[in-house]
A and B are shown apart, each in its own frame.
Chain A
Amino acid sequence: MNRLNNRFRASWSRFLAVFKKEIIQIKRDKPSLGIAFGMPIMMLLLFGYAVNTDVDNLPTVVWDQSRSAESRELLASFVNTGYFGINQYAQGYQEIREALDGGQSRVALVFPPDYAANLQLGKPATVQVFIDGSDPQVARTALSTAQLLVQAKGAALLAEGLAARGIDQGSGPLLEARPRIWYNPDMKSLVFNIPALIGLIMQNVTIMLTAFALVRERERGTMEQLVVTPVRPAELLLGKLAPYVLLGLVSFSIILAAGIYWFGVPVKGSVPLLVLLAILFLFTSLSIGLLISTFSRTQLQAMQLAFMVLLPSILLSGFIFPRETMPWLIRGLGNLIPLTYFLVILRGIFLKDIGLAHLQGEVFALLAFAGGLFLLAVLRFRKNLD
């Protein structure tokens, strides 16, 4: 019993020595600190402000040949949707072409001279809408908004006209869809992006830092000294990884706090569950970092390998592009990335308040990844020591 106790004390002492040493090294290593604290903040600003897929205030050029109360009224309705912002007035198609070619405007509205006259006579009137379709997402939003707006206006005018002739149309149109958007009612891309950003940043920070930390030991020759000491692989690994678990949790907290208090994206679901699953995800990232370190001789190689893992994870995990529209092969590749599952978990808990019952598949996938990758990494790490 006493001997077992002594063995445990020695083991703990070795773990603690590695842990303390690693903390001191992180504190003195500017690049590591930059990755740990700079990267979350930089990515948060980048994705919080710059990468915004919301469409609003599209610069719009107007050629109003009608110059009537009717045309001004319709224009005002366009502006009121918030999607269109009039930035210039044109006289002729030549000017409209130039505005769209030059990119000063993305949408053009043209009222024909007889617009008001036709409306007053109860005849069909037209308004021309040109849309810059280079960015399909922007074009689609502009198109559907313009169509809905003009249809609604048309229906209102029709009802008005009928009423003027003494015909009561009743309770409105016979068929009507009544859409209600759940989970993210304002359809803000920020609400969708911030939760996912937590996963992406945690992944990047931990993979890069752990890969570097272990390769550094070999690159600088300090591993040569460690192998002749009584330190065991498990003590060395745990001692080196533990500080990065803490760092990973720090970046998790930074983004979570910024997401909630700065960007106003509240967590609808259980925060403890979120933290618990974040720790699980952290282990899969650490294992990937560890695995990368066993394949690299220098920090540069580790960096290149890390990017080979990080880039596909941004593109294929559903972080930016919806996975539902991907071809089956690409989607299959996405299934091999742990981040894919963590994003479903993050968005589920953040936006939909769903619990473990709805996330079983994802949690099992992460557990399998964490276990499998860690085992593989440790086996390779041990082999490398010989």
Chain B
Amino acid sequence: MPAANTAGAPAIFVDKLTKKFGSRTAVDQISFSVPAGKIFGLLGPNGSGKSTTIRLLCGVLLPTAGTGTVLGYDIVREAEAIKQNVGYMSQRFSLYEDLTVGENLEFYAGIYGLSREECRQRRQELLTLAGLTARQHQLAGALSGGWKQRLALICALLHQPRLLILDEPTAGVDPVSRRIFWQIIRQTVTTGVTVLVSTHYMEEAEDCDLLGFLFSGRLLGFGPPALLKQQANVANLDDVFLAYVEREGEPG
């Protein structure tokens, strides 16, 4: 990979990014920029365009209009390079339930082209990090919700991605598992990895370095949580969101 392509570039940069499905506009001219090494939280109700935005950034969907780069790679022309450097975890458990924990890791190691030595080393590291070492020979389908989610996370981290994308990762997971999950995320960020996370939980949003509020496909607010609260002159993020939606409702 040419180094000039990525050095100093923001981890995520989008300019007037738009995606239409037929007559419906799922993502409407959003523009923002996220520096490397930050946790960026994407907030918004169901159907606000979070998942579509994520799929555009992963290079899985083509934008209708606008441009964007992820890790310095163009989201239209360099989707392959993006896929090799991004780790993705969806809200639905999308690993193989009929494969063991270890086999799932080996499968993704092969998909990302890790050498045998790299695979062995990363596998050990990540199993320890997630506390899954004792369960590596168990079928993934036999794990409980919290364990499954941690397995999905370490599968996404296996190839040392520079951007980790988490689509509502903690939906339907108990509070203890959620805390362990976020510990792993924070530890990952210290190594210079950027994180994009979409979430419903406002307490998770508080911990992000940057937030973006999506509503009906439009980006209503963008910035650090403290700044957003200050601008809206409210005490918590719930109220920030309400303030945005109310302002939208008013004509003009």
Chain A residues within 8 Å of B, Cβ to Cβ: 9-10, 13-14, 16-18, 20-21, 24-25, 28-29, 220-231, 386
Contacts and interface: CB of A to CB of B under 8 A. Distances in A.
Interface string B87-128: 010101111111100010011111111000000000000000
A230 B79 CA distance: 9
Chain A: interface secondary structure?
helix
A221 B98 contact: no
Interface residues of B, number: 27
B96 A14 contact: no
Given A14-B111, A225-B94, A230-B84, 15 more contacts: A9-B113, A17-B107, A17-B109, A18-B111, A21-B99, A21-B107, A24-B98, A24-B103, A25-B98, A25-B99, A220-B94, A220-B96, A225-B90, A230-B80, A230-B83
Nearest to B93: A221
Contact of A14 (B90, B93, B110): B110
B248 to A, nearest CB: 31
B83 A25 contact: no
B139 to A, nearest CB: 8
Contacts of A10: 113
Nearest to B99: A24
Contact of B103 (A9, A21, A222): A21
Contact of B98 (A13, A18, A28, A228): A28
A345 B234 CA distance: 80
A221 B83 CA distance: 18
Given A14-B113, A220-B97, A20 B92 contact: no
Contact of B60 (A9, A24, A25, A228): A228
A221 B148 CA distance: 14
Contact of A229 (B83, B90, B98): B83
Contacts of A220: 94, 96-97
B107 A20 contact: yes
Contact of A225 (B88, B103, B106): B88
Contacts of A386: 60-61
B58 interface: yes
Contacts of B165: 228
Nearest to B152: A225
B86 interface: yes
Given A25-B96, A25-B98, A228 B111 contact: no
Nearest to A228: B88
A9 to B, nearest CB: 7
B210 to A, nearest CB: 22
A224 B60 CA distance: 10
A222 B88 CA distance: 12
A294 B93 CA distance: 23
Contacts of A228: 58, 60, 83, 86, 88, 165
Contacts of A229: 83, 88, 108, 111-112
A14 B109 CA distance: 9
A17 B60 contact: no
B95 A225 contact: yes
A1 to B, nearest CB: 18
B55 to A, nearest CB: 8
Nearest to B88: A228
A121 B5 CA distance: 115
Interface in B145-171: 165
Given A24-B99, A228-B88, A386-B61, A17 B83 contact: no
A386 B63 CA distance: 12
Q: Which of B97, B109, B110, B111 has the most CB of A within 10 A?
A: B111
CB-based closest 5 A-B pairs: A17-B110, A225-B94, A228-B88, A10-B113, A230-B83
B51 to A, nearest CB: 10
A199 to B, nearest CB: 31
Interface in B166-222: none
A12 B113 CA distance: 9
Nearest to A28: B98
A273 B92 CA distance: 49
Given A225-B90, A228-B58, A230-B84, A29 B110 contact: no
B113 A222 contact: no
Contacts of A16: 110
5 contacts: A14-B111, A16-B110, A20-B106, A220-B94, A221-B90
Interface in B7-42: none
A230 B107 CA distance: 13
Given A24-B103, A224-B92, A230 B97 contact: no
